[in-house]
Amino acid sequence: MGKTKHTGPVKLTKRPDPSLWVSKVPFGLGKVKPHHIRDTMKVVWENKDNLPYATRILTQGVCDGCALGVSGLQDQTLKGPHLCTTRLNVLRLNTMPAIKEEILHSDIEELKKLSSTELRKLGRIPYPLIREPGDDRFRRLSWDAALDRIAQKMRSLDPKRYGFYTTSRGITNEVYYTLAKVSRFLGTNNIDNASRICHSPSKTALTRSVGVGASTCNYKDWIGTDVLLFWGSVAANNQPVSTKYMYAAKRKGTKIIIINPYYEPAMDEYWVPSIPESALFGTKIADDVYQVNIGGDIAFMHGIMKHWFEMEENVPGSALDHEFIEEHVNGLEELKQKVVAYDWETLEASSGITKERMLELAQLLAKSKSAVFVWSMGLTQHRFGTDNVSQVANLALLRGFLGREHCGLMPIRGHSGVQGSGEMGADPFVLPGGGMDKDNRERVEQIWGFPIPKWQGDIVGVSLENALLPENHERHLSLYYLSGGNFLETMPNPDFVERCLANIDLRVHQDIIFNTSTLVDAKEAVIVLPAMTRYEQEGGGTSTSTERMVYFSPEIKGPRIEEARCEWEVYVDLAKRVKPEESDLINFTSAAEIREEIAKAAPNYDGIQHLKNRGDLFQWGGAWLCEDGICPTPDGRGNLIAVEIPEHRKPEGHFHVTTRRGKQFNSMIYDELDPFNAADRDDVLMNELDAAELGVAEGDPIVVYNQYGMYKGQAKFVNIKAGNIELHWPEGNVVIPQGVYEEFAGIPEYTTLVIVEKADSFYAHKDMKYKEKRIEELEMEPS
């Protein structure tokens, strides 16, 4: 797609810059901040029984944490070693011994009393297990017996009645690709993955706006761009190594802008542990913060563009890049008509940002020659997530911030496995190399040698809901094969999710550890299969970073869980048992063989077949997608997308709520205390002025509720936009409605409206009709 190649890492200056220091007090003593040295020592202690192996994983393997793409201790952005707490926190998953047998086979009711954090610490799953109705504990069974049981059930079902799901925990492209192929070989398109719950609106929006479904630029483009803008992203918490890139950008004079309802401390000030100056005195990150309402992003972006169009009326060429638009962009007039039609009062009310503040950012971007826009789930996990991201693309297209150095659109990924999952076809809407359209389906059928079902597969949320359909319904979910994942702690409305999981005949959990969903009953059986980590897989594996770097991670010598198997091998073995007469069509024998086929089936991945040694990598698409403004759309041009501002009725006394991450990686919680703001997991983050109106003091027990559920916590005062609150995820999922999906990409929405009251006031009303009356107005919430 692009002719320019990535030029590799750059050197970071060692000359200090006191103007960026947070404080002259060394190591941020007395401040609320992460304690990286202490946390590192804790990880060393946890891995003391396997330190040589742990060291080899860190120095030889590709990070199985976030998707910044660190191979060993090196990356392609900055020279020097890189290691972050996220990677250290997940390290123990790879070095743990097996669960002790007396615990593994203890009473199921005792195991159910444990949290996922406690279950994780028990150790690795050692061998296949089964639990049937009436069993009070798991029983051991052989791999043959387990796979034969699953295969027998599959043969008895219409393929529309079973499905596959894969999480992103260290899973490689080879595993994703094999599952994508096996599911279609078995006749089902019910296959989904964790990345769609996070960034499917990004892929959908970018594809319709600029013809690509991935980041158009690199992390190197952060360093030296005029403006680096983070929208709904707390990269300092979720991708800690990125703070080193932010530091490098600041040293080059880049202005960093944060747009988020909560003024996140981690994005304001950070002590980068691998940079001595920053480790000692901290680094000021944010140059400005715009505290937008939850769900007010489209109105905010409309406001920026409205200012641009007004600036153009006064001084043509003062805001828009007319040359770029004329040569490379469609839809200017339609967008302009939509934007200018909104009055400032509406834009201010929806966004929560004043006209004057919108002008400040509009002028900054108009004067800038380059900008990189980075976003995460703060933009995507809404019912209008695709439109959110399309508006970001609109900003870039109007200014020509695309297809060149220091410019681009970057949906930053939260896990090393997720970028490749959709590109490998582990998705109900795509196949390797493209979508489910006729041309691509027929192309892949030629490579695979068997027909691909034409019917539309279900997204994960709908698959779960299908478990409650009537038994005779063609889409009733009777068998669900899960590679990792914990829907009880990732999907909205966990009580509903548990009912769905329990109503499935046969549920398969292929994983390295137990979690709470593993222990939920099933109608016929729960089968648990022990999986290998990415570092244990013979022949190694590959993963794709946010910036489209495909890295090879080798098998690393070390202890093994004796009966754990490579996940792609398990899929192939199962497929052969279901359809033995056609087993030759699915007969992978090595990881290298899979990579050879990926290169054919997914043309962007031509080059993956040559990756075989530690340090091997390539970047598909070149340094910049849409290079020189030429987009891989039918006419080669980008498309401006005109969208409506979402309707946000908020009755008086109600709050918009969304979820946030604390000291955790995905749903895996590592500490009850957030190191950036000292919040406990059950704290409700709220504005002090809102609390005063409710008569709530900091630390007071409060109740957050709506028609979907109730959350009990205590008030924690933070710098968050008035009228908005945040709850930790996954604990806050109890008030998030199930069954609300984004129109274009099918992502669940993780925001809603709630009522907040002091606990003593709420419980003083013995009549529960009080609660019903209080939420009547919420029933008017737009669906």
Query: What mean pLDDT is predicted for residues 547-569?
Result: 97
Helix axes 438-448, 173-185, angle to 10 degrees: 100
Q: Which of 644, 758, 741 shows the shortest CA–CA distance to 692?
A: 758
Burial status of residue 342 (CB atoms within 10 A of its CB: 0-12, 13-18, 19 or more): middle
Tell me: pLDDT of 221 over 50: yes
Predicted confidence band of residue 197 (pLDDT cuts 50, 70, 90): confident
Q: What is the model's pLDDT at position 768?
A: 61
Predicted confidence band of residue 767 (pLDDT cuts 50, 70, 90): low
Query: What mean pLDDT is predicted for residues 318-337?
Result: 98
Burial status of residue 673 (CB atoms within 10 A of its CB: 0-12, 13-18, 19 or more): middle
Q: What is the model's pLDDT at position 779?
A: 61
Reported as a single tens digit per residue, the pLDDT across 707-737 is: 999 999 999 999 999 999 999 999 999 999 9
Reported as a single tens digit per residue, the pLDDT across 86-110 is: 889 899 999 999 999 999 999 999 9
Copy the structure tokens of residue 113: 């009393």
Reported as a single tens digit per residue, the pLDDT across 259-310 is: 999 999 999 999 999 899 999 999 999 999 999 999 999 999 999 999 999 9
Among 333-342, 485-494, 757-766, name the most confident range: 333-342
Tell me: pLDDT of 190 over 70: yes
Q: What is the model's pLDDT at position 31?
A: 87
Lowest-confidence pick of 73-77, 215-219, 477-481, 644-648: 644-648
DSSP assignment of 140-191 equals E--HHHHHHHHHHHHHTS-GGGEEEEE--SS--HHHHHHHHHHHHHTT---E
Predicted confidence band of residue 117 (pLDDT cuts 50, 70, 90): very high
Predicted confidence band of residue 744 (pLDDT cuts 50, 70, 90): confident
- Count the residues in the chain: 783
Predicted confidence band of residue 777 (pLDDT cuts 50, 70, 90): low
Tokens 């596959």: give the residue.
Answer: 164
Burial status of residue 561 (CB atoms within 10 A of its CB: 0-12, 13-18, 19 or more): buried
* DSSP E strands, 252-338: 255-259, 269-270, 283-284, 288-290, 329-330
**What does R_g of the chain's alpha carbons equal in angstroms?**
25
Query: What mean pLDDT is predicted for residues 177-200?
Result: 93
Per-residue DSSP letter, 444:
H
Reported as a single tens digit per residue, the pLDDT across 378-390 is: 999 888 999 999 9
Q: What is the model's pLDDT at position 653?
A: 81
Q: What is the model's pLDDT at position 782?
A: 46
- What is the C-alpha separation between 690 and 722, in angstroms, rounded? 6
Lowest-confidence pick of 58-67, 468-477, 551-560: 58-67
Q: What mean pLDDT value characterizes the chain?
A: 94
Q: What is the model's pLDDT at position 414?
A: 78
Copy the structure tokens of residue 320: 């828009």
Note whether 553 and 535 are within 8 A (CB). yes
Reported as a single tens digit per residue, the pLDDT across 222-266 is: 999 999 999 999 999 888 899 999 999 999 999 999 999 999 999
Query: What mean pLDDT is predicted for residues 495-518?
Result: 97
Lowest-confidence pick of 188-202, 301-315, 349-363, 617-631: 188-202
Q: What is the model's pLDDT at position 783?
A: 41
